[in-house]
């Protein structure tokens, strides 16, 4: 099945809007086209539509007959999507729409991220705004920008633009979960320059770590999946100790909120070391693949001869770089002592680019405890400052404090039990959601997040379950009919 056949899925209006949305390139920080798309959508329906200074789109729709006395509901999703593709996939995210297909009960994309995060939520809201036969109270649709790389849309949203006191965030990725809290985050970036020198060795190799599972650096961090940057650094440090290799460049990872799946390095060694180095890499690769055989079964580690580079890193810098990256915390830092099974703090060594005398190393540090978030960020900073790096903190955002007794949470918990004959899993998540940020300017607003099953978010394995979208849609419509009256 192709994109056109996705439009034939049920509920029809939701999938048609999703297909329309996925035809619009919408990378984070380049949302001009999707902002214009949403503005045209709202005005074409004759609905009150506005775009704030940041680029967030707000569309308001009056209640349907008989629902005028119900409380106004804010429906919120983000417009941007993570752009990730397999290394062998030829695709231009800036010009092409997502190429989708149906496989059994799932919608997937061909070698790229799908955009179900958070496109399904956007499409569901669009279906409600364009509907003529769905009963609902007054709706305020809030479509934020740049959620995936800084949440700057939510951070820039001013108070007074929304009247509703209840917000439904449609950005959760397990259909049995009702999310009522999330972690905050901070971007940690180490940068600097280094000296270059002519290589002493005579043979060059391209080392590749690829095929890792990857995934969401918050929601999947507890699964223990391999981080390509950490694994490459382990290989390089080991080979350096054994053979005194010279490193010309390193490039691994792409986005802060994606667990890195691939890393590439160019190294130089003496010709006499060729056989021994190849054997050592093979042996270490076998060990690493065995360690990660469950979480990353498709992992591949290899080396191939390449043309000699003209310059390599100064040996002193190289030693500092490898040791600083080794010392950098990655993965779970602390589990929550209050909520069983919840990661409290973590870090993702997301991107490492070292080339031509310049280096840039990017991390995303998360915690539901603000003081611990800064403690972990400081630990990372210290690791890189020891190599002389300049470290910057940017893109910080607060967590979302759970309020389990909020009326909307109790209403939706009871409704889930009634509809599906089982209890919903009411929880907090380690991923970042915009609710905590939105609450800073709308402190009286009660919030809850839910959505359909979306697996592999932030990776080319992303897929959304068709039957779960139908369940989510049924739940959303039923919720709107239960919204209480004003007063």
Catalytic machinery residues: 80, 147
C-beta separation of 301 from 278 below 8 A: no
Supply 480's token pair: 């709107």
**How many whole angstroms separate alpha carbon 399 and alpha carbon 266?**
40
CA 301, 232, 195 angle in degrees (round to 5)? 135
Residue 75 CB coordination number (10 Å): 27
- Tokens in use for 365? 């540090």
User: Residue 77 has what DSSP assignment?
Assistant: E
Report the distance separating Cα 253 and Cα 276, nearest Å. Answer: 28
Helix, strand, coil percentages (3-state) for the chain, rounded to 5, are 30, 30, 40
In the three-class reduction of DSSP (H, G, I as helix; E, B as strand; rest coil), residue 65 is classed as: coil
Phi-psi region of 470 (alpha: psi -120 to 50; beta: other; left: phi over 0): alpha
CA 331/CA 352 separation, integer angstroms: 16
| Beta-strand relationship, 57-61 and 73-78 | unpaired
Compute the residue count for the chain.
Answer: 487
Between the CA of residue 168 and those of 113, 141, 155, 263, what are the distances in Å? 25, 10, 18, 38
**Partners of 141 in the β-ladder:** 59, 75
């Amino acid at each position: 099945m192709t994109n056109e056949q996705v439009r034939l899925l049920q509920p029809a209006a939701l999938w048609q809007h999703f297909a329309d949305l996925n035809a619009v390139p919408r990378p984070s920080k380049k949302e001009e086209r999707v902002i214009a798309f949403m503005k045209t959508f709202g005005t074409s329906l004759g609905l009150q539509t506005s775009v704030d200074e940041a680029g967030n789109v707000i569309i308001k729709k009056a209640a349907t007959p008989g629902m005028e006395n119900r409380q106004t509901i804010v429906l919120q999703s983000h417009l941007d999507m993570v752009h990730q593709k397999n290394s062998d996939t030829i695709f231009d995210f800036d010009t092409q729409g997502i190429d989708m297909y149906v496989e059994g009960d799932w919608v997937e994309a061909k070698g790229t991220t799908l955009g179900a995060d958070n496109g399904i939520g956007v499409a569901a809201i669009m279906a409600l705004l364009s509907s003529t036969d769905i009963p609902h109270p007054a709706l305020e649709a809030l479509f934020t920008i740049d959620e995936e790389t800084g949440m700057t849309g939510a951070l820039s949203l001013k108070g007074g633009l929304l009247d509703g006191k209840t917000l439904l965030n449609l950005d959760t990725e397990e259909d049995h979960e009702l999310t009522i809290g999330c972690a905050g985050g901070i971007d940690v970036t180490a940068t600097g320059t280094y000296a270059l020198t002519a290589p002493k060795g005579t043979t060059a190799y391209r080392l590749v770590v690829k095929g890792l599972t990857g995934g969401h650096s918050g929601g999947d961090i507890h699964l223990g999946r391999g981080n390509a940057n950490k694994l490459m650094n382990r290989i390089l440090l080991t080979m350096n100790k054994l053979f005194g290799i010279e490193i010309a460049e390193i490039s691994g990872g792409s986005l802060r909120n994606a667990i890195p799946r691939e890393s590439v390095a160019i190294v130089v060694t003496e010709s006499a070391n060729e056989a021994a180095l190849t054997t050592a890499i093979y042996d270490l690769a076998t060990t690493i693949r065995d360690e990660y055989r469950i979480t990353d079964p498709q992992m591949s580690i290899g080396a191939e001869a390449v043309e000699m580079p003209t310059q390599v890193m100064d040996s002193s810098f190289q030693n500092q770089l490898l040791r600083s990256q080794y010392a950098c915390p990655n993965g779970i830092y602390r589990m929550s002592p209050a909520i069983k099974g919840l990661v409290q703090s973590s870090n993702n060594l997301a991107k490492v680019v070292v080339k031509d005398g310049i280096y840039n190393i990017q991390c995303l540090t998360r915690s539901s405890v603000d003081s611990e978030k800064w403690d972990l960020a400081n630990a990372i900073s210290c690791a890189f400052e020891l190599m002389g790096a300049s470290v910057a903190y940017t893109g910080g955002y607060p967590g979302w404090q759970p309020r389990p007794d909020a009326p909307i949470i109790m209403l939706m918990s009871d409704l889930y039990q009634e509809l599906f004959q089982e209890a919903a899993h009411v929880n907090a998540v380690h991923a970042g959601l915009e609710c905590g940020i939105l609450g800073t300017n709308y402190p009286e607003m009660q919030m809850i997040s839910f959505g359909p099953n979306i697996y592999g978010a932030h990776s080319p394995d992303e897929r959304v379950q068709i039957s779960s979208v139908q369940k989510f849609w049924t739940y959303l419509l039923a919720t709107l009919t239960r919204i209480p009256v004003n007063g």
